[in-house]
Amino acid sequence: MEASIKRLEFLCKKIPQLLGKIEESSFSLKLDSEKWSKKQIIWTFN
């Protein structure tokens, strides 16, 4: 359980940094009109 908590804390710190490095144009790009962009997928978890 301790390892899981530490991993979650690490990811909560690391993921925002990684997401901040993605260019907005790439993050919002929809490859198909029927598909979601990466940004839309992330926002569903918010």
- Give residue limits of the domains in the chain: 2-44
Angle at 35 between CA 32 and CA 39, to 5 degrees: 110
Residue 36 binned pLDDT confidence (cut-offs 50, 70, 90) = very high
By the 8 A CB rule, do 19 and 11 touch? no
By the 8 A CB rule, do 42 and 19 touch? yes
Reported pTM: 0.55
Q: What tens digit of pLDDT does each residue of 6-21 get?
A: 999 999 999 989 988 9
Determine the Cα–Cα distance for residues 31 and 41; give it in Å rounded to an integer.
13
